[in-house]
Amino acid sequence: MEIKGIDTLYNHLKQYDFNCFMDLGSGKGALCIHMAKQPAIENVVGIELVDDRHEEAVQLRDSLSENDARKIDLILGDIFKVSLKKYKSKNIFIWISSLCFPQDVINNIFKKLKRELKPGTIICSSKTVTNNIGTIIETITLPQSWNQTHQATIYKL
């Protein structure tokens, strides 16, 4: 997702009360950095599996102002081995760029989120979940690169 797309999604979702943004598959951290600059966001969590991408995200975070950098937790690891329980008290908006994940992985991610996070968590996924976890709120069209659009489904746990 590009910044224009996450801005569209963020502005659309402002109607929901959230103060934490979580990016599963956060890559080089661009979305995390951008969301940390939003005044209503108190915490940003990026979880990335690939070491090189994670290291680039850490370097980018460390170049920010102290106020923005302190908001961001960047975690190197497999989502299934990372405990999210410390974020259970947060009102969270989660972005999952899930097009490259097999369906069973997406379904298992949703199971984990339901176990570890509080009801009302908002999840936006580029792939539809097939295990009936979460309530579909809507599908939204988001701008992407090269003047293309992308469909994403918004769920509420």
Taking only the tens place, the pLDDT of each residue in 29-81 is: 999 999 998 888 999 999 999 999 999 999 999 999 898 899 999 999 999 99
Tell me, what's the pLDDT at 147? Answer: 65
Tell me, what's the pLDDT at 8? Answer: 84
- The residue among 68, 12, 63 whose CA lies nearest residue 35 is 68
How would you classify the pairing of strands 43-48 and 20-24? parallel
What is the distance between the alpha carbons of residues 40 and 37, in angstroms, rounded to a whole number?
9
Q: How far is CA 110 from CA 67, 93, 131, 138, in A?
A: 31, 13, 9, 17
Residue pLDDT, tens place only, 116-153: 999 999 999 887 788 888 888 888 887 776 667 778 88
Q: Which domain holds residue 27?
A: 3-156
Tell me, what's the pLDDT at 84? Answer: 95
CATH of the domain at 63: 3.40.50.150
> What tokens does 41 get?
């966001």
Query: Which segments of the chain does DSSP mark as H helices, in order?
Result: 3-13, 30-36, 51-62, 66-69, 103-116
Average pLDDT over residues 82-101: 87
Tell me, what's the pLDDT at 139? Answer: 86
- The residue among 90, 110, 45, 50 whose CA lies nearest residue 72 is 45
Query: How many separate domains does the chain show?
Result: 1
Single pTM value for the model = 0.90
Contact (Cβ atoms closer than 8 angstroms) between residue 20 and residue 92: yes
Residue listed under structure tokens 């950095």: 33
